[in-house]
Structure 1
Amino acid sequence: MGIKGLTKLLAEHAPGAAVRRRVEDYRGRVVAIDTSLSIYQFLIVVGRKGTEVLTNEAGEVTRSLKRDGSSEDLNRAIEVGDEDLIEKFSKRTVKVTKKHNEDCKRLLSLMGVPVVQAPGEAEAQCAALCENHKVFAIASEDMDSLTFGARRFLRHLTDLSFKRSPVTEFEVSKVLEELGLTMDQFIDLCILSGCDYCENIRGIGGQRALKLIRQHGYIEEVVQNLSQTRYSVPEDWPYQEVRALFKEPNVCTDIPDFLWTPPDEESVEKIKAANDKFSLGRGKLLAPVANLTGSTSTAGKEPKCILGGPGQVMKARSPLQLGISSVRGALGSWNAISRVLASTPFIRSLQAFIVLRMEAIVEGSKYECLLFDLDDTLYPFSSGINLACRKNIQDYMRRHLRIEESQIADMCLELYKEYGTTMAGLKALGYEFDNDEFHANVHGTLPYDNLHFDPVLRTLLLSIPQRKIIFTNSDKAHAEEVLCRVGIQDCFEGIICFETLNPPTPTCHGLHKPLSSISDELSSDLDDLDESDGFRPKSPILCKPSIEAMEAAIRIANVDPEKTIFFDDSVRNIASGKAAGFHTVIVGRPTLVPGADHALESIHNIKEALPEIWDGWSESDVVLASTASETTISENFEK
């Protein structure tokens, strides 16, 4: 996850620190890759259906895949013979083992790619290599690469979800210059904003952290001058230990020059076939690796691969890349090596092939975009988020708006029915309060720990070739938190949220893009809205289920509703979406409701209910797309 909100903070306060470049600009450069979860992602998609796993000729589970059979949910599903649940929970119990790591390091070496085993954090090791000029840059999605002092840091180098955007290159020297901070102060800023190694002070995000560091210099002075009634510093807060981790990480400094060797085709072939009895699909996936060719001298030669065509797509030589694995130190949990095959010319060719394939499929597809509601749609109602949110709204009405407690419950229900959200109803009745304050009170104490990484949903979303956009009534901070907790923050093109539909000023841009971006041109759409457009709601707050909100979303996202699928858990939102022209899917219900074209008991059932989304894709296409996708997930997936 890296540093919370740092990308947005730099975009606002240090815009010159980031430069957009093409992948081709790094041709011939040595780039250190911070590996994370590709092994885990791969294991989810290569297993056979249900309880079946990859085995050798003796019928034993091989080193290629092991599943934790202790899962109560999985055992229960097996007992009742529910194949769908068996498949679902079987995927959730996949574990990456030490043997997987060792096998992948060996495979990389046989393919001619140098591998460095980091004694501590992989990002820190990559940063040290960059600082010592062993590599030109480091490639990662974790923004704490900058906190570790990486001179040059690349995002989206090989990420399929960013195929419409160039690589973003950061230089730490420019970051410090534009923020007006020293490196030590920047480290303290990152700790205050929120990092992976300790909790932050509740109520302090990136913007406030920057203001406090500029005002007081360091965390010690910040804490000393904080309001004790408004902020609560965590007990035994280990910020000093985390600061030391960033300043003096455990890294290898005595590393010889990297040696690039041709792939050992014979040994790679032995790995493929010596001990394991692979399924047909798996054999096809490994075939291109065995056909890689290369030489210690790269002059005048290009890497080649055979996969029914992708080798013809990538004609230019790929950037030289370095795989870095990681074993976490005392302040974190063990972190598996991954992103292994992503550092090979084969995957770069494969990715280019998939990009073209996805675009071709979408052009001839029945659908062009999928709009997803967030709460109780992309995670289950049983998480308790909804109930906690209701309680917080009622508490706010009692404490801040001084509404009689005996009236609050009925009032909330009536306002929700009439205006779509209690907040919109309160504004319509003339109650005056700050929108940000309301959202902070309602969402600030939600039980987000009840939300967990969902690898099944993530893999499913990554396999969908169409545009995917979040459309929620909640504020963007809540949306970001939820998406990050579930591990799907980079699966969407953008977020249409409360701030999108209700900009505070006439010049506020339309679509908030904290995770990825919809075209910049679309962000000006809300600037042009006026009474004559018919998009101004009668209530001061624009939100679902109003038809005006649906039409505004269509305008902002620039979609054709007849080629767009709208997923929501609300019956009223579904009816409104249907009236706006969307194809509609009610989520969380086994049967259709008025206005719904499809019904899903769970968001995981999209493929069974709407197979036409993948028209033109074969099963191998889906596996390849999910496997080749370079994405970053919070390391809390192990919890």
Structure 2
Amino acid sequence: MGVPIGDLVPRKEIDLENLYGKKIAIDALNAIYQFLSTIRQRDGTPLMDSKGRITSHLSGLFYRTINLMEAGIKPAYVFDGKPPEFKRKELEKRREAREEAELKWKEALAKGNLEEARKYAQRATKVNEMLIEDAKKLLQLMGIPIIQAPSEGEAQAAYMASKGDVYASASQDYDSLLFGAPRLIRNLTITGKRKMPGKDVYVEIKPELVVLDEVLKELKITREKLIELAILVGTDYNPGGVKGIGPKKALEIVRYSRDPLAKFQRQSDVDLYAIKEFFLNPPVTNEYSLSWKEPDEEGILKFLCDEHNFSEERVKNGIERLKKAIKAGRQSTLESWFVKKKP
């Protein structure tokens, strides 16, 4: 879900070409949820192989990652580790919401209402360990770096961006800014034409760039105050925030109060200061490698085609595109090196 501060945050549309040559740390779970939600049949049923195993996320990861590589982007996927204890309540609420949506999905199917069925099917999307392991396996076979975060993937991606190891963190949520990412890219994995929910209308979705320094300058606050603002309106760790306080009111409060959390801590059932500290100093690791390798052609074909019934022709075509993208990226890096070395 993330923190609902989108109306306050300045951002600008960009083209994929603007990210040429950039390394970007992608919030893997966020991307996988997007693929599972959008890559479905008309009645909301996800893509499956002959054994009934879901493959929507594999299709999304394979083809979308190739698209990014063809645009000259170097993606690395960051996977979640153990969530903080104070997120448990929110995770339980999400589980209950998915179960309710699944019941409504089945009811809509029984009535033959495919539009309603698809809507509820998307809300019922869930990710289990098997889907995560399959995603990791595919990315490794493709030669794409994967990073295992000790806790939140967005925190790890933000850390990598703040160190300069990657250009930006990529996610639909704004939490990356709270974790200190200097740049956030939104819509990276859903760029292109997308159907509007409940309408027979398609819109063009483009990547958005959000720069932390520009956000803080626009709002006239510090990152610490941005975190306090987020806590007041609600985060994944205190959903709903403080009753009656929206983003604009929260902004005024944090601007003019030295300790805006003190007043509201008494009415909260979670430690607001612990949440603030988590955003400021989340668990992260230095143990990661950003190395893009040649794809394992035989491994990809065996995994996608033999095990999960993907079209061999389409997968082979995808592999060729991936190889060309890797070669083009290396050639451009080599040319850039020679240009820099010219006297």
TM-score range, shorter chain: 0.5 to 0.7
Asked if 1:10 is matched to 2:9, the reply is yes
Report deviation, 1:95.
Answer: 4.3
Match of 1:261 among 273, 286, 293: 293
Asked if 1:180 is matched to 2:220, the reply is yes
Conserved? CA contact 1:128–1:253, under 8 Å: no
Residue of structure 2 in register with 1:169 after alignment:
209
Asked if 1:214 is matched to 2:250, the reply is no
- Summarize the alignment of residues 339-354 of structure 1 with structure 2, pairs less than 5 Å apart: none
Match of 1:118 among 144, 149, 152: 149
Q: Deviations over 1:482-519 (max 9, x none)?
A: xxxxxxxxxxxxxxxxxxxxxxxxxxxxxxxxxxxxxx
Amino acid at match of 1:245: F
Amino acid at match of 1:113: I
Residue of structure 1 in register with 2:276 after alignment:
243
Distance 1:55 1:222 in 2: 57
Distance 1:174 1:109 in 2: 36
Conserved? CA contact 1:112–1:263, under 8 Å: yes
Conserved? CA contact 2:158–2:176, under 8 Å: yes
Residue of structure 1 in register with 2:27 after alignment:
34
Residue of structure 2 in register with 1:21 after alignment:
14
Match of 1:272 among 304, 319, 324: 304
Give the alignment's Cα RMSD to 1 decimal: 4.0
Residue of structure 2 in register with 1:192 after alignment:
232
Q: Deviations over 1:290-322 (max 9, x none)?
A: 4442457833379xxxxxxxxxxxxxxxxxxxx
Conserved? CA contact 1:69–1:75, under 8 Å: no
Distance 1:140 1:293 in 2: 26
Match of 1:102 among 133, 144, 153: 133
Largest Rg, 1 or 2: 1
Conserved? CA contact 1:261–1:296, under 8 Å: no
Q: TM-score, normalised by structure 2?
A: 0.66
**Structure 1 counterpart SS, 2:147:** strand
Label 1:193 to 1:286 Cα distance change in 2 as closer, same or farther (>3 A): same
Report deviation, 1:124.
Answer: 0.8
Conserved? CA contact 1:63–1:99, under 8 Å: no
Gaps of 5+ in 1: 12-17, 225-232, 303-639
Asked if 1:127 is matched to 2:158, the reply is yes
**Structure 2 counterpart SS, 1:10:** coil
Corresponding pairs, count: 274
**Structure 2 counterpart SS, 1:169:** strand
Label 1:192 to 1:27 Cα distance change in 2 as closer, same or farther (>3 A): same
Flag as ranges the 4+ runs of structure 1 deviating above 6 A. Answer: 46-50, 68-72, 74-77
Residue of structure 1 in register with 2:169 after alignment:
138
Asked if 1:289 is matched to 2:315, the reply is no
Distance 1:22 1:244 in 2: 35
- Summarize the alignment of residues 94-493 of structure 1 with structure 2, pairs less than 5 Å apart: 95-158=126-189, 159-160=191-192, 167-199=207-239, 200-223=241-264, 234-256=267-289, 258-276=290-308, 278=309, 286-291=315-320, 292-294=322-324, 295=326, 298-300=329-331
**Structure 2 counterpart SS, 1:135:** coil
Label 1:2 to 1:76 Cα distance change in 2 as closer, same or farther (>3 A): closer
Percent identity, aligned pairs only?
27
Report deviation, 1:223.
Answer: 3.8
